[in-house]
Amino acid sequence: MCGIFAYSGPKSNAPETVFEGLKSLEYRGYDSWGVVTQPGESSLQPKSLVVKKRIGKIGTNNINELPSSHIAIGHTRWATHGKVTELNAHPHLSCDGKIAIVHNGIIENFVKLQADLRASGHKFVSETDSEVIAHLLEEERKTSDLPTALRNVFSKLKGLNAVIAMELNSDTLVATTNGSPLVIGIAKGEIYMASDPSALLPYTTEVIFLEDGVIAIWSENMLRFASTKTGKKLEPTSQQITWKAQSAEKGAFAHFMLKEMHEQAAIIRSIAKKAESNSNFDYKKLADRIKKARHCYLVGCGSSWFIARIAQYVFAKIGVLITPIVGSEFLEAAPALSKDDFLIVLSQSGETMDSIKPVKLAKKSGTGIGALVNVPGSSISRLADITLLIEAGPEKAVATTKAFTATLMHLLLVVKAMDEKLFSKLDFNKVAYGVERALSTAKTTQLDRLAKKFQNDEHLFCLGRGVSFPVAQEAALKVKEVSYLHAEGLAGGELKHGPLALITEGTPCVVLAPNDETYADAISGAMEMKARGGFIIGISPQTHQVFDEFIAVDDLGLGTIFLELAVVQYFGYALAIAKGLDPDMPRNLAKSVTVG
């Protein structure tokens, strides 16, 4: 969940380069941050690497006091072991201050390792599991060079970990991983390392995604790879990232979340265009596997799970039963997998540990795996048999918006590859236009006003029926995630089975009422809530007297869900802004949830 960035090369502003890299990775973790580099000539501590760490977001901090140097590594933290303190922030140093490490993952056996190191005289300054790596390296380094030391240390660590290390008076960077993402960015005479390819875009598009069990060694202007276990030389091939540097920047928008919502219309158009020309996307391959499967499972976490739930309704419309299961529950909820089953995993980041576990189980069981992911080269994209890159471009806001839309659209196109009829009236260009209208100034002004009205409320309910039920759940997730207002997404029919008890005078109730077979029931639900004092915000192509506030969306059949989504995404954003919160980096969360 943490962000890692490293540089070694001819630039003398390595700390600054790393600091900028950290800013672009901050969405991966923002409890605290730190940068380590070589001491300057005038350093008071010439025998030790120099570190700057701070708690909180990078914000307006700087690293002016760090000396110029040609090598540096940095880290943004999402705390697992130990509170959010400067001492617990990475990088961590060995006792002699000559070795520094940054780490992403969890060292399952750190207690034992720490006890052994303490017994042999090592002093720990943090409560983290990560610090053991620096001390273990210090021990190994007595008899081996840094790459060999890291290989030996890595063999002692249990769990899924990624590590980068450097040492005093050397330009050597070493990095290895098993199960945590690390990308090597290759440029002439210099090297970049990061936990996400989007952070490398300002410098290079040529990358190598470090495979599990591979160590990357940059030393004396040479990049080498070897097996972490055996030391045997390896030659992984590099690939080009097609993302543009600007797509990872905020541009004129106040927040990434706002920018990413506004990118949705263009993404819909682009996917529709490519789908029409039949280029790139593997809809048919996925459709064939679904048709042949004994059971097909759709797996995802958080918003990706709600996409799976929407897809379930859409597949049902063509008579296909697929089972959505939330990633973290899959092992317990799914029956034993077999070769005849097919599992499709949905993951923007491609790194969500709770979604990787079912994928690994499927691999063991010989079950076919399809994946819809956004980040090229990510773990899930490499594990799947068929990977469909959703091509939404880098998504930086913790709350997903454009990746949700892109994934959902691709899934609809998979359904279309199985049965054209359902889509005879669905015009994605109209959907794109409808999303633009849903995010027009007129609409966002209306939603800003509502957000101000409800910013101090404690609860918000969102009601949907049929395919709009999981949209209502996604709406609630968006609201709670960025505005910290307790929100629940409900199936309309469930109201009278309990939740109605929570509706009191003025409770905000969002009602999704598309012009489909669920409209009448959606209105009944609105009536029931209104009768208990609820303030009804109707999102619908047609108004109704039960609505206290009406947010009009175009009537686009199944395509209306994309417009509902755009409205509720913006509403969540507006609530966060009304409350003075940062919607891009909500408290306690991180973009890539790489721990299970």
> According to the binding rule CB under 6 A, does residue 398 interact with ligand M6R?
yes
138 close to 98: Cβ distance less than 8 angstroms: yes
Reading the block at residue 311, the tokens are 């897809």
Of 13-21, 341-349, 413-421, 533-541, the window that binds ligand M6R (rule: CB under 6 A) is 341-349
In 3D space, the residue among 208, 109, 218 whose CA is nearest the CA of residue 153 turns out to be: 109
Closest approach, Cβ 344 to ligand M6R, in A, equals 13
Closest approach, Cβ 104 to ligand M6R, in A, equals 15
Q: Closest CB to ligand M6R among 532 and 579?
A: 579
Of 67-75, 348-356, 437-445, 489-497, the window that binds ligand M6R (rule: CB under 6 A) is 348-356
Of 53-61, 394-402, 519-527, 553-561, the window that binds ligand M6R (rule: CB under 6 A) is 394-402
- Nearest-angstrom CA–CA distance, 191 and 500: 58
Residue 546: DSSP 8-state: T
Closest approach, Cβ 138 to ligand M6R, in A, equals 36
Q: Closest CB to ligand M6R among 51 and 477?
A: 477
347 close to 355: Cβ distance less than 8 angstroms: yes
Closest approach, Cβ 577 to ligand M6R, in A, equals 17
Cα-to-chain-centroid distance, residue 244 = 19
Residue burial 533-562, b: 16+ Cβ < 10 Å; e: rest: ebbbbbbbbeebebbbbbbbbbbbbbbbbb
> According to the binding rule CB under 6 A, does residue 392 interact with ligand M6R?
no
Q: Which residue(s) pair with 133 in the sheet?
A: none
Q: Which of residues 419-478 bind ligand M6R (CB under 6 A)?
A: 477
Q: What letter represents residue 521's amino acid?
A: D
> According to the binding rule CB under 6 A, does residue 15 interact with ligand M6R?
no
Q: Closest CB to ligand M6R among 477 and 568?
A: 477
- Nearest-angstrom CA–CA distance, 504 and 510: 14
Of 47-55, 186-194, 343-351, 535-543, the window that binds ligand M6R (rule: CB under 6 A) is 343-351
Q: Closest CB to ligand M6R among 122 and 262?
A: 262
Cis peptide bond prior to 202, omega within 30° of 0 = no
- Nearest-angstrom CA–CA distance, 402 and 257: 9
- Nearest-angstrom CA–CA distance, 259 and 451: 19
Using CB under 6 A, count the residues that bind ligand M6R.
Answer: 15
Q: Taking CB positions, which residue lies at the least distance from ligand M6R?
A: 302
Cβ neighbour number for residue 298 with a 10 Å cutoff: 26
Q: Closest CB to ligand M6R among 110 and 562?
A: 562
Alpha helices, H only, 345-401:
353-365, 379-383
Q: Which residue(s) pair with 188 in the sheet?
A: none
> According to the binding rule CB under 6 A, does residue 198 interact with ligand M6R?
no
Q: Closest CB to ligand M6R among 536 and 595?
A: 595
Cβ neighbour number for residue 81 with a 10 Å cutoff: 15
Of 346-354, 363-371, 543-551, 552-560, the window that binds ligand M6R (rule: CB under 6 A) is 346-354
Residue 179: DSSP 8-state: S
Residue 369 parent element (H or E): strand 368-373
Q: Which of residues 22-61 bind ligand M6R (CB under 6 A)?
A: none
- Nearest-angstrom CA–CA distance, 412 and 314: 7
Of 47-55, 196-204, 223-231, 397-405, the window that binds ligand M6R (rule: CB under 6 A) is 397-405
Residue with tokens 């970049």: 192
String of contacts with ligand M6R for each residue 351-390, x by CB under 6 A: -x--x-----------------------------------
Q: Closest CB to ligand M6R among 15 and 302?
A: 302
Of 11-19, 95-103, 398-406, 499-507, the window that binds ligand M6R (rule: CB under 6 A) is 398-406
Strand order, beta sheet including 71-77: 50-55, 32-37, 71-77, 3-8, 190-194, 183-187, 206-209, 239-240
Of 8, 104, 126, 348, which one interacts with ligand M6R (CB under 6 A)? 348
Cα-to-chain-centroid distance, residue 346 = 11
Of 153, 216, 399, 577, which one interacts with ligand M6R (CB under 6 A)? 399
Q: Closest CB to ligand M6R among 215 and 301?
A: 301
**Nearby residues of 102 by Cβ (< 8 Å), 6 or more positions away:** 2, 4, 6, 36, 73, 74, 75, 90, 91, 92, 130, 163, 164
Of 16, 129, 481, 488, which one interacts with ligand M6R (CB under 6 A)? 481
Q: Closest CB to ligand M6R among 152 and 381?
A: 381
> According to the binding rule CB under 6 A, does residue 347 interact with ligand M6R?
yes
String of contacts with ligand M6R for each residue 291-320, x by CB under 6 A: ----------xxxx----------------
Residue with tokens 């992911």: 373
Point out the residues that are catalytic: 2, 591
> According to the binding rule CB under 6 A, does residue 349 interact with ligand M6R?
yes
Residues making contact with ligand M6R (CB under 6 A)? 301-304, 347-349, 352, 355, 398-400, 477, 481, 593
